[in-house]
Structure 1
Amino acid sequence: MRLILLGPPGAGKGTQAQRLVEKHGIPQLSTGDMLRAAVKAGTEVGKRAKAIMDAGGLVSDEIVNQIVSDRVGEPDAARGFILDGFPRTVPQAEALTRILAGKGQELDAVIELKVDENALLKRMEKRVADTKAAGGQVRADDNPESFKKRLDEYREKTAPLSKYYAGTGQLKTVDGMADMDTVTAEIEKLVAAAVNA
């Protein structure tokens, strides 16, 4: 099962990915984790990424694509994986198609969690209030201003992926505003249909 979960920040992608990981025993591949692992392992591409990050630069698509290519080829990803934070742009999506084709693979599904952005903002505000009430530490980017910036960036760079994957016939949508278990059940149904197609 090779899967991408799409949706704006706060849509619940992380929670749903964790549930899929637990049920299916496949890894969730986060771009940040993959980058850190490549740097730590001192791979050729990891060294290139480290030099750029140490200089305060953004790692290029070429390097990120190579790291993803290396990672999806590892033994624990042989039965499948869930991509998290990649692809972020249409050129990365096109690169992913080439990477997988080169390994004789393709995506089983791209599932987008459709959400109401105003309700997401309220959900985020409630989470912050609940965390504070419980005496917990609130994430630095969990505030309305940061959240709106993240939503704007998502709309500008990542939302076009919906159109791209709709064009390939791989996009499926789920109501991300439903309760967590309903969203999980819907995703499971879509995944089963895609894998058995």
Structure 2
Amino acid sequence: MREVPFGQDGNYSHEAIINRINADLANDLGNLAQRSLSMIGKNLEGIVPQPGASSLPTRTSSPRRRVAARPAATRWKAADPSRAEAIWGVVAEANRYFANQAPWQLRKTDPERAATVLYVTAEVIRQIAILSQPVMPGSAGKLLDLLAIPESGRSFASLGAHAGRLAPGSTLPTPAGVFPRYVEAEEAEKSA
């Protein structure tokens, strides 16, 4: 949806789509989920941490605010590309937050802060996954599975300041990659 706006002319190229898949999905959202959830798995025994005070900007901790204040039923009307842009803006902010906070270093010097960074990142991933379900239901569902979100907690009603937040103390499954990098068959054969 971000490569060619819905209802408009655009240039389609196989290479552009592969670049979008690898950049947006594998590198940005997929890498953020894999890194943060793996740290929860490895350093916190797969238990969602109790967050402390957060310095994360409100707009990132609640991606719904960045999307639109419209009823959920109309949120994806006409496949509005601005919705995807808003979500990917939050993904970029969450990646910057995670990199700047460096929980892999904080766990040695300030474990409570590291736990907060991991919680906030996982919560943002939860909200991104819920918001992404209309355009990538299978992959968003896999992200929600990795966060142990039940079917009843996957609707737009589970978004917002207090609705449906990750429950500290809950156990997450072993993380797995959701968005592998796309490699052309010819390139894969050359690498083998």
- TM superposition score normalised by structure 1: 0.26
- TM superposition score normalised by structure 2: 0.26
